[in-house]
Amino acid sequence: MPSFNVDQMPHVTSSVERFLVNPDGNADGMILVNGVEVYFAPHLSTAVLTAIQVGDRITVYGVLPMAEPMIAAVIIEAANGARIEDLGLPTRSAPRSRRTSDQSMRT
């Protein structure tokens, strides 16, 4: 599991103006009142929308591309201190193979 040192990461603090929604219907970004665009992975959509509402003041830690008013979020911190961290895509268990009664085990 990745561990992030927020003291060493660029960050932006502002209020949420609106959420950005992708064609699949998942939130994958937001526009802050200060004009900064925040982008986060779509698998974080439910967690972000549960913890953060339009108008909430948040702090976003992530990557700031040069000369662009945007940040690629790694951590989003809600006003109440709740944190949403991008730890990568959730892993799924590999499907188990099923043997039918007519299959035999031969070595």
Question: In this structure, is residue 65 part of a structural domain?
Answer: yes
Question: In this structure, is residue 64 part of a structural domain?
Answer: yes
Summarize the confidence of residues 56-69 as an average pLDDT. Answer: 87
Q: What is the pTM of this model?
A: 0.72
Question: In this structure, is residue 96 part of a structural domain?
Answer: no
Question: In this structure, is residue 53 part of a structural domain?
Answer: yes
| Higher pLDDT among residues 41 and 67, named by residue | 41
Question: In this structure, is residue 38 part of a structural domain?
Answer: yes
Q: Give tens-digit pLDDT for 14-50.
A: 999 999 999 999 999 999 999 999 999 999 999 999 9
Joined together, the tokens standing for residue 28 give 């994958």
Question: In this structure, is residue 94 part of a structural domain?
Answer: no
> Which CATH number is 76's domain given?
2.40.50.140
| Mean residue pLDDT across the chain | 83
pLDDT > 90 fraction of the chain, expressed in percent and rounded: 51
CA separation (Å) from 1 to 4, 30, 51, 90?
10, 26, 22, 12
Task: Indicate the number of domains in the chain.
Answer: 1
Q: Is the pLDDT of residue 69 over 50?
A: yes
Instruction: Give the type of residue at 77.
Output: E
Tell me which residue range forms the domain holding 64.
9-85
Joined together, the tokens standing for residue 72 give 């690629």
Question: In this structure, is residue 47 part of a structural domain?
Answer: yes
